[in-house]
Amino acid sequence: MASIATTCSSALIFRRKESISNNNGGSMLHYNGLRASKSRAIKAMAAPTVSAPKRETDPKKRVVITGMGLVSVFGNDVDTFYDKLLEGQSGITLIDRFDASSFTVRFAGQIRDFSSVGYIDGKNDRRLDDCWRYCLVAGKKALEDANLGQEVLETMDKTRIGVLVGSGMGGLTAFSNGVEALIQKGFKKITPFFIPYSITNMGSALLAIDTGLMGPNYSISTACATANYCFFSAANHIRRGDADIMVAGGTEAAVNATGVGGFIACRALSQRNDEPHRASRPWDQNRDGFVIGEGSGVLIMESLEHATKRGANIIGEYLGGGITCDAHHMTDPRKDGLGVSSCITKCLEDAGVSPEEVNYVNCHATSTLAGDMAEVNAIKKIFKDTSGMKMNGTKSMIGHGLGAAGGLEAIACIKAINTGWLHPTINQDNLEPQVDIDTVPNVKKQHEVNVAISNSFGFGGHNSVVAFAPFKP
Protein backbone atom coordinates (compact mmCIF):
# COMPACT_ATOMS: atom_id res chain seq x y z
CA MET A 1 0.00 0.00 0.00
CA ALA A 2 2.90 2.37 0.81
CA SER A 3 4.50 1.87 -2.60
CA ILE A 4 1.19 2.49 -4.38
CA ALA A 5 0.63 5.71 -2.43
CA THR A 6 4.19 6.88 -3.17
CA THR A 7 3.75 6.20 -6.88
CA CYS A 8 0.45 8.09 -6.94
CA SER A 9 2.04 11.07 -5.14
CA SER A 10 5.02 11.18 -7.53
CA ALA A 11 2.78 11.10 -10.58
CA LEU A 12 0.59 13.83 -9.09
CA ILE A 13 3.54 16.16 -8.46
CA PHE A 14 4.92 15.60 -11.95
CA ARG A 15 1.60 16.28 -13.65
CA ARG A 16 0.94 19.33 -11.50
CA LYS A 17 4.24 20.87 -12.68
CA GLU A 18 3.41 19.98 -16.26
CA SER A 19 -0.04 21.59 -16.10
CA ILE A 20 1.31 24.79 -14.49
CA SER A 21 4.00 25.14 -17.14
CA ASN A 22 1.39 24.75 -19.88
CA ASN A 23 -0.53 27.62 -18.26
CA ASN A 24 -3.76 26.92 -20.06
CA GLY A 25 -7.34 27.05 -18.88
CA GLY A 26 -7.63 23.28 -18.34
CA SER A 27 -4.60 22.91 -16.08
CA MET A 28 -6.40 23.49 -12.78
CA LEU A 29 -9.28 21.21 -13.78
CA HIS A 30 -6.76 18.51 -14.67
CA TYR A 31 -5.03 18.94 -11.30
CA ASN A 32 -8.30 18.79 -9.35
CA GLY A 33 -9.31 15.68 -11.26
CA LEU A 34 -6.08 13.95 -10.32
CA ARG A 35 -6.51 15.01 -6.69
CA ALA A 36 -10.05 13.56 -6.66
CA SER A 37 -8.81 10.34 -8.27
CA LYS A 38 -6.12 10.03 -5.63
CA SER A 39 -8.68 10.59 -2.87
CA ARG A 40 -10.94 7.86 -4.27
CA ALA A 41 -7.98 5.48 -4.57
CA ILE A 42 -6.97 6.02 -0.94
CA LYS A 43 -10.54 5.50 0.26
CA ALA A 44 -10.80 2.29 -1.74
CA MET A 45 -7.60 0.97 -0.22
CA ALA A 46 -8.65 1.97 3.31
CA ALA A 47 -12.16 0.48 3.14
CA PRO A 48 -12.32 -2.49 0.74
CA THR A 49 -15.71 -3.74 -0.30
CA VAL A 50 -16.84 -6.64 1.91
CA SER A 51 -18.70 -9.34 0.01
CA ALA A 52 -21.79 -10.96 1.45
CA PRO A 53 -21.20 -14.23 3.34
CA LYS A 54 -21.32 -17.31 1.14
CA ARG A 55 -22.08 -20.80 2.39
CA GLU A 56 -20.18 -23.80 1.11
CA THR A 57 -21.71 -25.24 -2.08
CA ASP A 58 -19.25 -28.01 -2.98
CA PRO A 59 -20.93 -31.33 -2.01
CA LYS A 60 -17.51 -32.72 -1.11
CA LYS A 61 -17.07 -29.95 1.45
CA ARG A 62 -20.61 -29.51 2.71
CA VAL A 63 -20.84 -31.36 6.04
CA VAL A 64 -24.18 -32.87 7.00
CA ILE A 65 -25.40 -34.68 10.10
CA THR A 66 -26.68 -38.20 9.45
CA GLY A 67 -26.85 -39.70 12.94
CA MET A 68 -26.89 -38.91 16.66
CA GLY A 69 -26.27 -40.94 19.79
CA LEU A 70 -26.08 -40.12 23.47
CA VAL A 71 -25.89 -41.24 27.05
CA SER A 72 -27.57 -38.80 29.40
CA VAL A 73 -29.21 -38.32 32.76
CA PHE A 74 -32.47 -38.98 30.86
CA GLY A 75 -31.29 -42.26 29.33
CA ASN A 76 -29.70 -43.37 26.08
CA ASP A 77 -32.46 -42.48 23.61
CA VAL A 78 -32.25 -39.19 21.71
CA ASP A 79 -36.02 -38.68 21.42
CA THR A 80 -36.62 -39.41 25.11
CA PHE A 81 -33.80 -37.06 26.03
CA TYR A 82 -35.32 -34.20 24.06
CA ASP A 83 -38.85 -34.92 25.26
CA LYS A 84 -37.66 -34.58 28.85
CA LEU A 85 -35.96 -31.31 27.99
CA LEU A 86 -39.13 -29.99 26.34
CA GLU A 87 -41.08 -30.92 29.49
CA GLY A 88 -38.68 -28.82 31.54
CA GLN A 89 -37.77 -31.78 33.72
CA SER A 90 -34.70 -31.57 35.93
CA GLY A 91 -32.30 -34.50 36.02
CA ILE A 92 -30.37 -33.14 39.00
CA THR A 93 -30.54 -35.35 42.11
CA LEU A 94 -28.63 -36.16 45.29
CA ILE A 95 -25.47 -38.20 44.71
CA ASP A 96 -25.55 -41.83 45.79
CA ARG A 97 -22.62 -43.21 43.73
CA PHE A 98 -20.28 -42.47 46.63
CA ASP A 99 -20.72 -41.19 50.16
CA ALA A 100 -21.02 -37.43 49.70
CA SER A 101 -22.52 -36.75 53.13
CA SER A 102 -19.44 -34.82 54.29
CA PHE A 103 -19.14 -32.81 51.04
CA THR A 104 -20.38 -29.24 50.87
CA VAL A 105 -21.99 -30.17 47.52
CA ARG A 106 -24.03 -33.38 47.56
CA PHE A 107 -25.90 -33.37 44.24
CA ALA A 108 -25.17 -33.71 40.52
CA GLY A 109 -26.55 -34.71 37.14
CA GLN A 110 -25.73 -38.32 38.00
CA ILE A 111 -26.63 -40.99 35.44
CA ARG A 112 -28.57 -43.88 36.97
CA ASP A 113 -29.51 -47.34 35.69
CA PHE A 114 -27.07 -47.09 32.80
CA SER A 115 -27.05 -50.17 30.58
CA SER A 116 -24.53 -51.05 27.90
CA VAL A 117 -26.22 -54.34 26.96
CA GLY A 118 -25.82 -54.98 23.25
CA TYR A 119 -23.02 -52.46 22.90
CA ILE A 120 -20.17 -53.65 25.17
CA ASP A 121 -19.36 -57.25 26.05
CA GLY A 122 -19.64 -58.13 29.72
CA LYS A 123 -15.95 -58.68 30.43
CA ASN A 124 -14.89 -55.30 29.04
CA ASP A 125 -17.88 -53.58 30.56
CA ARG A 126 -16.76 -54.53 34.07
CA ARG A 127 -13.25 -53.16 33.49
CA LEU A 128 -14.01 -49.92 31.70
CA ASP A 129 -14.18 -46.48 33.24
CA ASP A 130 -17.68 -45.01 32.85
CA CYS A 131 -16.24 -42.31 30.60
CA TRP A 132 -15.43 -44.92 27.94
CA ARG A 133 -18.61 -46.92 28.51
CA TYR A 134 -20.65 -43.80 27.78
CA CYS A 135 -18.53 -43.09 24.70
CA LEU A 136 -18.92 -46.58 23.26
CA VAL A 137 -22.68 -46.65 23.71
CA ALA A 138 -23.24 -43.12 22.38
CA GLY A 139 -20.89 -43.68 19.44
CA LYS A 140 -22.41 -47.01 18.41
CA LYS A 141 -25.95 -45.66 18.78
CA ALA A 142 -25.01 -42.73 16.55
CA LEU A 143 -23.65 -45.14 13.92
CA GLU A 144 -26.85 -47.17 14.11
CA ASP A 145 -28.92 -44.00 13.77
CA ALA A 146 -26.97 -43.18 10.59
CA ASN A 147 -27.61 -46.68 9.21
CA LEU A 148 -23.95 -47.53 9.68
CA GLY A 149 -24.28 -50.72 11.68
CA GLN A 150 -21.50 -53.29 11.60
CA GLU A 151 -22.86 -55.12 8.56
CA VAL A 152 -23.00 -51.91 6.54
CA LEU A 153 -19.57 -50.80 7.73
CA GLU A 154 -18.07 -54.05 6.47
CA THR A 155 -19.02 -53.04 2.93
CA MET A 156 -17.38 -49.59 3.20
CA ASP A 157 -13.84 -48.23 3.03
CA LYS A 158 -13.21 -47.90 6.76
CA THR A 159 -9.96 -46.01 6.19
CA ARG A 160 -12.23 -43.12 5.15
CA ILE A 161 -14.17 -43.10 8.43
CA GLY A 162 -12.59 -41.45 11.48
CA VAL A 163 -13.35 -41.01 15.17
CA LEU A 164 -12.84 -37.84 17.18
CA VAL A 165 -14.50 -38.07 20.59
CA GLY A 166 -12.81 -35.98 23.26
CA SER A 167 -12.94 -35.76 27.04
CA GLY A 168 -12.02 -33.00 29.42
CA MET A 169 -11.06 -35.27 32.33
CA GLY A 170 -10.56 -38.73 30.81
CA GLY A 171 -10.98 -41.86 32.90
CA LEU A 172 -11.12 -40.10 36.25
CA THR A 173 -12.37 -43.10 38.21
CA ALA A 174 -9.65 -45.33 36.74
CA PHE A 175 -7.06 -42.70 37.62
CA SER A 176 -8.40 -42.21 41.16
CA ASN A 177 -8.49 -45.96 41.80
CA GLY A 178 -4.93 -46.33 40.54
CA VAL A 179 -3.61 -43.62 42.83
CA GLU A 180 -5.52 -45.08 45.77
CA ALA A 181 -4.03 -48.53 45.10
CA LEU A 182 -0.54 -47.03 44.92
CA ILE A 183 -0.90 -45.20 48.24
CA GLN A 184 -2.63 -47.98 50.16
CA LYS A 185 -1.04 -51.14 48.72
CA GLY A 186 1.99 -50.16 46.66
CA PHE A 187 2.76 -50.00 42.96
CA LYS A 188 2.45 -53.77 42.43
CA LYS A 189 -1.29 -53.52 43.10
CA ILE A 190 -1.91 -50.99 40.32
CA THR A 191 -4.03 -52.56 37.59
CA PRO A 192 -2.44 -52.83 34.13
CA PHE A 193 -5.49 -50.93 32.85
CA PHE A 194 -4.60 -47.89 34.98
CA ILE A 195 -2.82 -45.92 32.25
CA PRO A 196 -4.88 -47.04 29.20
CA TYR A 197 -8.22 -46.32 30.89
CA SER A 198 -7.06 -42.96 32.30
CA ILE A 199 -5.76 -41.22 29.20
CA THR A 200 -8.16 -39.01 27.26
CA ASN A 201 -7.69 -40.55 23.80
CA MET A 202 -9.05 -43.94 24.81
CA GLY A 203 -12.68 -43.23 23.91
CA SER A 204 -11.83 -42.67 20.25
CA ALA A 205 -9.41 -45.61 20.31
CA LEU A 206 -11.84 -48.12 21.84
CA LEU A 207 -14.64 -47.08 19.49
CA ALA A 208 -12.33 -47.64 16.52
CA ILE A 209 -11.13 -50.98 17.88
CA ASP A 210 -14.72 -52.19 18.25
CA THR A 211 -15.91 -50.97 14.84
CA GLY A 212 -12.76 -51.23 12.71
CA LEU A 213 -12.81 -47.55 11.71
CA MET A 214 -9.31 -46.69 10.48
CA GLY A 215 -9.58 -43.01 9.50
CA PRO A 216 -8.30 -40.01 11.51
CA ASN A 217 -8.45 -40.95 15.18
CA TYR A 218 -7.49 -38.91 18.22
CA SER A 219 -9.04 -36.87 21.00
CA ILE A 220 -9.11 -33.21 21.92
CA SER A 221 -9.15 -32.08 25.54
CA THR A 222 -10.09 -28.44 26.01
CA ALA A 223 -12.09 -28.77 29.22
CA CYS A 224 -15.75 -27.85 28.75
CA ALA A 225 -15.17 -26.70 25.15
CA THR A 226 -14.00 -30.18 24.11
CA ALA A 227 -16.94 -31.49 22.06
CA ASN A 228 -17.24 -28.35 19.92
CA TYR A 229 -13.50 -28.46 19.22
CA CYS A 230 -14.02 -32.03 18.06
CA PHE A 231 -16.88 -31.06 15.73
CA PHE A 232 -14.81 -28.23 14.29
CA SER A 233 -11.78 -30.45 13.64
CA ALA A 234 -13.85 -33.37 12.36
CA ALA A 235 -15.59 -31.14 9.82
CA ASN A 236 -12.24 -29.84 8.64
CA HIS A 237 -10.99 -33.39 8.09
CA ILE A 238 -13.96 -33.95 5.79
CA ARG A 239 -13.48 -30.63 3.98
CA ARG A 240 -9.79 -31.37 3.42
CA GLY A 241 -10.64 -34.76 1.97
CA ASP A 242 -9.06 -36.79 4.80
CA ALA A 243 -12.32 -38.63 5.52
CA ASP A 244 -15.85 -39.11 4.20
CA ILE A 245 -17.38 -39.67 7.65
CA MET A 246 -16.34 -38.62 11.14
CA VAL A 247 -17.80 -39.89 14.41
CA ALA A 248 -17.38 -36.84 16.64
CA GLY A 249 -18.39 -35.55 20.05
CA GLY A 250 -17.51 -35.62 23.72
CA THR A 251 -17.73 -37.91 26.73
CA GLU A 252 -17.29 -37.41 30.48
CA ALA A 253 -17.79 -39.23 33.78
CA ALA A 254 -16.53 -37.06 36.62
CA VAL A 255 -19.35 -37.55 39.13
CA ASN A 256 -17.08 -39.24 41.65
CA ALA A 257 -15.33 -38.15 44.83
CA THR A 258 -12.30 -36.81 42.96
CA GLY A 259 -14.30 -34.84 40.39
CA VAL A 260 -16.84 -33.36 42.76
CA GLY A 261 -14.22 -32.65 45.41
CA GLY A 262 -11.97 -30.98 42.86
CA PHE A 263 -14.68 -28.65 41.59
CA ILE A 264 -15.70 -27.82 45.16
CA ALA A 265 -12.09 -26.78 45.73
CA CYS A 266 -12.38 -24.49 42.66
CA ARG A 267 -15.44 -22.90 44.30
CA ALA A 268 -17.29 -23.38 41.03
CA LEU A 269 -20.30 -25.45 42.13
CA SER A 270 -23.73 -24.47 43.38
CA GLN A 271 -24.32 -25.40 47.03
CA ARG A 272 -28.11 -25.51 46.87
CA ASN A 273 -28.24 -28.91 48.61
CA ASP A 274 -31.78 -28.40 49.91
CA GLU A 275 -33.24 -28.14 46.38
CA PRO A 276 -30.92 -29.74 43.81
CA HIS A 277 -33.47 -29.58 40.98
CA ARG A 278 -33.49 -25.77 41.30
CA ALA A 279 -29.72 -25.35 41.61
CA SER A 280 -28.82 -24.79 37.96
CA ARG A 281 -30.36 -21.44 37.05
CA PRO A 282 -28.63 -19.66 34.16
CA TRP A 283 -28.96 -15.84 34.13
CA ASP A 284 -31.01 -15.87 37.34
CA GLN A 285 -29.92 -13.28 39.88
CA ASN A 286 -29.78 -15.96 42.60
CA ARG A 287 -27.47 -18.37 40.74
CA ASP A 288 -24.53 -19.57 42.79
CA GLY A 289 -22.50 -21.87 40.53
CA PHE A 290 -22.83 -24.76 38.12
CA VAL A 291 -24.01 -28.31 38.72
CA ILE A 292 -21.66 -31.07 37.63
CA GLY A 293 -23.10 -33.57 35.15
CA GLU A 294 -21.93 -36.42 32.93
CA GLY A 295 -22.71 -38.37 29.77
CA SER A 296 -21.77 -38.46 26.12
CA GLY A 297 -23.05 -36.85 22.93
CA VAL A 298 -21.92 -37.97 19.47
CA LEU A 299 -22.77 -36.86 15.93
CA ILE A 300 -22.13 -38.61 12.62
CA MET A 301 -20.69 -35.93 10.35
CA GLU A 302 -20.49 -36.75 6.67
CA SER A 303 -19.74 -35.08 3.37
CA LEU A 304 -22.92 -34.32 1.45
CA GLU A 305 -21.53 -36.15 -1.56
CA HIS A 306 -20.95 -39.36 0.40
CA ALA A 307 -24.25 -39.13 2.28
CA THR A 308 -26.17 -38.66 -0.98
CA LYS A 309 -24.44 -41.57 -2.68
CA ARG A 310 -25.36 -43.99 0.10
CA GLY A 311 -28.91 -42.61 0.47
CA ALA A 312 -28.41 -41.45 4.06
CA ASN A 313 -31.14 -39.70 6.02
CA ILE A 314 -29.83 -36.15 6.48
CA ILE A 315 -31.09 -34.49 9.67
CA GLY A 316 -29.17 -31.24 9.61
CA GLU A 317 -26.13 -29.42 8.30
CA TYR A 318 -22.98 -28.29 10.04
CA LEU A 319 -22.19 -24.88 8.56
CA GLY A 320 -18.97 -23.98 10.32
CA GLY A 321 -17.21 -23.26 13.57
CA GLY A 322 -14.72 -21.08 15.35
CA ILE A 323 -12.16 -21.52 18.14
CA THR A 324 -10.27 -18.86 20.12
CA CYS A 325 -8.52 -18.38 23.45
CA ASP A 326 -9.18 -15.68 26.05
CA ALA A 327 -5.46 -15.65 26.99
CA HIS A 328 -6.61 -14.18 30.28
CA HIS A 329 -7.15 -16.47 33.29
CA MET A 330 -7.35 -20.17 34.15
CA THR A 331 -11.00 -20.10 35.23
CA ASP A 332 -12.46 -16.61 34.83
CA PRO A 333 -13.73 -15.23 31.51
CA ARG A 334 -12.54 -11.94 30.08
CA LYS A 335 -14.78 -9.14 31.31
CA ASP A 336 -14.82 -7.51 27.87
CA GLY A 337 -15.98 -10.78 26.29
CA LEU A 338 -13.48 -10.36 23.45
CA GLY A 339 -12.52 -14.03 23.30
CA VAL A 340 -16.15 -15.12 23.02
CA SER A 341 -17.29 -12.41 20.60
CA SER A 342 -14.33 -13.01 18.29
CA CYS A 343 -15.07 -16.75 18.42
CA ILE A 344 -18.67 -16.16 17.33
CA THR A 345 -17.41 -13.92 14.51
CA LYS A 346 -14.96 -16.60 13.34
CA CYS A 347 -17.74 -19.19 13.42
CA LEU A 348 -20.03 -17.04 11.28
CA GLU A 349 -17.23 -16.34 8.81
CA ASP A 350 -16.40 -20.04 8.52
CA ALA A 351 -20.08 -20.87 8.11
CA GLY A 352 -20.76 -18.18 5.52
CA VAL A 353 -23.53 -16.79 7.69
CA SER A 354 -24.44 -13.19 8.48
CA PRO A 355 -25.41 -12.27 12.05
CA GLU A 356 -28.94 -11.50 10.86
CA GLU A 357 -29.46 -15.14 9.85
CA VAL A 358 -28.89 -16.54 13.35
CA ASN A 359 -32.09 -16.80 15.39
CA TYR A 360 -31.23 -19.40 18.05
CA VAL A 361 -28.31 -19.73 20.44
CA ASN A 362 -27.81 -22.77 22.62
CA CYS A 363 -25.73 -21.02 25.26
CA HIS A 364 -22.91 -22.31 27.41
CA ALA A 365 -24.89 -20.80 30.31
CA THR A 366 -23.41 -22.75 33.20
CA SER A 367 -25.11 -20.73 35.98
CA THR A 368 -21.95 -19.07 37.22
CA LEU A 369 -21.93 -15.43 38.33
CA ALA A 370 -19.33 -14.13 35.87
CA GLY A 371 -19.67 -16.55 32.97
CA ASP A 372 -23.37 -16.14 32.24
CA MET A 373 -23.23 -12.38 31.81
CA ALA A 374 -19.94 -12.41 29.91
CA GLU A 375 -21.56 -14.70 27.34
CA VAL A 376 -24.69 -12.56 27.02
CA ASN A 377 -22.62 -9.41 26.58
CA ALA A 378 -20.59 -11.06 23.82
CA ILE A 379 -23.77 -12.22 22.06
CA LYS A 380 -25.23 -8.71 22.19
CA LYS A 381 -21.99 -7.31 20.81
CA ILE A 382 -22.23 -9.45 17.66
CA PHE A 383 -26.00 -9.57 17.17
CA LYS A 384 -27.22 -5.99 17.13
CA ASP A 385 -30.91 -6.88 16.65
CA THR A 386 -31.95 -9.69 18.99
CA SER A 387 -35.70 -9.09 18.77
CA GLY A 388 -36.30 -12.31 16.85
CA MET A 389 -33.59 -14.32 18.60
CA LYS A 390 -34.06 -16.94 21.29
CA MET A 391 -31.45 -18.51 23.52
CA ASN A 392 -31.65 -21.23 26.14
CA GLY A 393 -29.55 -23.16 28.62
CA THR A 394 -29.65 -26.96 28.42
CA LYS A 395 -27.52 -27.19 31.56
CA SER A 396 -30.42 -25.89 33.64
CA MET A 397 -31.87 -29.42 33.44
CA ILE A 398 -28.96 -31.83 32.94
CA GLY A 399 -26.13 -29.99 34.65
CA HIS A 400 -22.74 -29.29 33.11
CA GLY A 401 -21.43 -32.36 31.31
CA LEU A 402 -17.93 -30.83 31.04
CA GLY A 403 -16.27 -32.35 27.94
CA ALA A 404 -19.57 -33.95 26.92
CA ALA A 405 -21.62 -30.74 27.25
CA GLY A 406 -21.17 -29.54 23.67
CA GLY A 407 -22.08 -32.98 22.33
CA LEU A 408 -25.36 -33.13 24.24
CA GLU A 409 -26.16 -29.52 23.35
CA ALA A 410 -25.45 -30.07 19.66
CA ILE A 411 -28.04 -32.85 19.74
CA ALA A 412 -30.47 -30.42 21.39
CA CYS A 413 -29.82 -27.99 18.51
CA ILE A 414 -30.46 -30.63 15.83
CA LYS A 415 -33.65 -31.72 17.59
CA ALA A 416 -34.82 -28.10 17.81
CA ILE A 417 -34.22 -27.74 14.07
CA ASN A 418 -36.20 -30.89 13.30
CA THR A 419 -39.08 -30.51 15.76
CA GLY A 420 -39.64 -26.76 15.63
CA TRP A 421 -39.65 -26.64 19.45
CA LEU A 422 -37.10 -25.07 21.78
CA HIS A 423 -36.71 -26.50 25.26
CA PRO A 424 -37.04 -24.06 28.17
CA THR A 425 -34.40 -22.70 30.47
CA ILE A 426 -35.82 -23.74 33.82
CA ASN A 427 -35.44 -22.00 37.20
CA GLN A 428 -35.88 -18.58 35.61
CA ASP A 429 -37.36 -16.81 38.63
CA ASN A 430 -35.50 -13.53 38.79
CA LEU A 431 -33.74 -12.78 35.51
CA GLU A 432 -30.75 -10.44 35.41
CA PRO A 433 -32.08 -7.09 34.14
CA GLN A 434 -29.39 -6.86 31.41
CA VAL A 435 -30.66 -10.07 29.82
CA ASP A 436 -33.16 -8.75 27.29
CA ILE A 437 -32.99 -11.71 24.88
CA ASP A 438 -35.75 -14.34 25.13
CA THR A 439 -34.32 -17.17 27.27
CA VAL A 440 -37.38 -19.41 26.73
CA PRO A 441 -38.11 -19.19 30.47
CA ASN A 442 -39.57 -22.28 32.16
CA VAL A 443 -41.87 -23.36 29.28
CA LYS A 444 -40.99 -24.65 25.80
CA LYS A 445 -41.68 -22.48 22.73
CA GLN A 446 -42.30 -23.12 19.07
CA HIS A 447 -39.60 -21.58 16.92
CA GLU A 448 -38.52 -22.18 13.34
CA VAL A 449 -34.75 -22.28 13.50
CA ASN A 450 -32.98 -20.64 10.60
CA VAL A 451 -29.39 -20.92 11.87
CA ALA A 452 -28.44 -22.14 15.35
CA ILE A 453 -25.13 -21.59 17.06
CA SER A 454 -23.97 -23.61 20.05
CA ASN A 455 -21.45 -22.10 22.47
CA SER A 456 -18.97 -23.97 24.67
CA PHE A 457 -16.22 -22.42 26.77
CA GLY A 458 -13.68 -24.14 28.98
CA PHE A 459 -11.23 -23.56 31.81
CA GLY A 460 -8.03 -22.15 30.36
CA GLY A 461 -9.97 -19.66 28.26
CA HIS A 462 -10.83 -22.09 25.47
CA ASN A 463 -13.77 -20.82 23.37
CA SER A 464 -15.65 -22.78 20.72
CA VAL A 465 -18.76 -22.01 18.68
CA VAL A 466 -20.38 -24.18 16.01
CA ALA A 467 -23.27 -23.43 13.66
CA PHE A 468 -26.03 -25.78 12.48
CA ALA A 469 -28.95 -25.27 10.11
CA PRO A 470 -31.78 -27.24 8.48
CA PHE A 471 -30.47 -29.15 5.48
CA LYS A 472 -31.50 -27.67 2.16
CA PRO A 473 -30.31 -29.48 -0.99
Q: What is the CATH classification number for the domain harbouring 241?
A: 3.40.47.10
Domain match, 9 and 105 both: no
Q: Could you tell me the CA-to-CA distances from 429 to 278, 287, 441 in Å, in that order?
A: 10, 10, 9
Is-contact 160 215, C-beta < 8 A? yes
Q: What secondary structure, in 3-state letters, does 356-393 show?
A: HHEEEEECCCCCCHHHHHHHHHHHHHHCCCCCCCEEEC
Cα(395)–Cα(372) distance, rounded to whole angstroms?
Answer: 12
- 151, 35: one domain: no
Q: What is the pLDDT of residue 354?
A: 96
Domain co-membership, 70 together with 22:
no
**Measured distance CA(466)–CA(323) in Å, rounded:** 9
Q: Is 199 exposed, middle or buried (0-12, 13-18, 19+ CB in 10 A)?
A: middle
Residue 58 lies in a domain: no
Alpha carbons 410 and 395: distance in angstroms, whole number: 12
Q: Confirm whether 400 is a catalytic residue.
A: yes
Domain that holds residue 444: 63-469
The C-alpha angle with vertex 225 and arms to 372 and 237, in degrees rounded to 5, equals: 145
Work out the burial of residue 301: count CB atoms within 10 Å of its CB; fewer than 13 is exposed, 13-18 middle, 19 or more buried.
Answer: buried
- DSSP per position, 251-283: EE---SHHHHHHHHHTT-B---TT-GGGS--TT
197, with CB counted inside 10 A (0-12, 13-18, 19+), is: buried
The pLDDT assigned to 338 comes to 84
The residue from 131, 135, 224, 347 that is catalytic is 224
Spot the catalytic one: 131, 306, 363, 364: 364
Catalytic residue among 306, 400, 423, 447: 400
CB 361 within 8 Å of CB 334? no
Report the interhelical angle of 130-145 vs 172-185 (nearest 10°): 160
Q: Are residues 25 and 142 in the same domain?
A: no
Whether residue 17 sits in one domain with residue 89: no
Q: Kindly state whether residues 191 and 68 are assigned to the same domain.
A: yes
pLDDT given at position 16: 37
pLDDT at position 296 is 98
Chain segment 184-197, per-residue pLDDT in tens: 999 999 999 999 99
| 17 and 148, same domain (yes or no) | no
How much is the pLDDT for 334?
85
Residue 56 resides in a domain: no
Alpha-carbon distance of 73 to 146, in angstroms, equals: 23
- Are 268 and 156 found together in one domain? yes
Q: Report how far residue 459's alpha carbon sits from residue 246's, in angstroms, rounded to the nearest whole number.
A: 26
Closest by CA position to 132, among listed 294, 302, 301, 300? 294
Report how many domains make up the chain: 2
pTM of this structure? 0.88
Query: Is the domain of 35 the same as that of 133?
Result: no
- Select from 402, 413, 410 the least CA-distant residue to 462: 402
Q: Quick check: is 57 in a domain?
A: no
167 shares its domain with 247 = yes
Domain match, 373 and 426 both: yes
Q: Does residue 55 belong to any structural domain of this protein?
A: no
pLDDT for residue 14: 35
**Are residue 26 and residue 173 in the same domain, yes or no?**
no
Identify whether 53 is part of a domain. Answer: no
The pLDDT of residue 140:
98
Active site annotation includes 224: yes
Listed as ranges, residues in the chain with pLDDT below 50 are 1-50
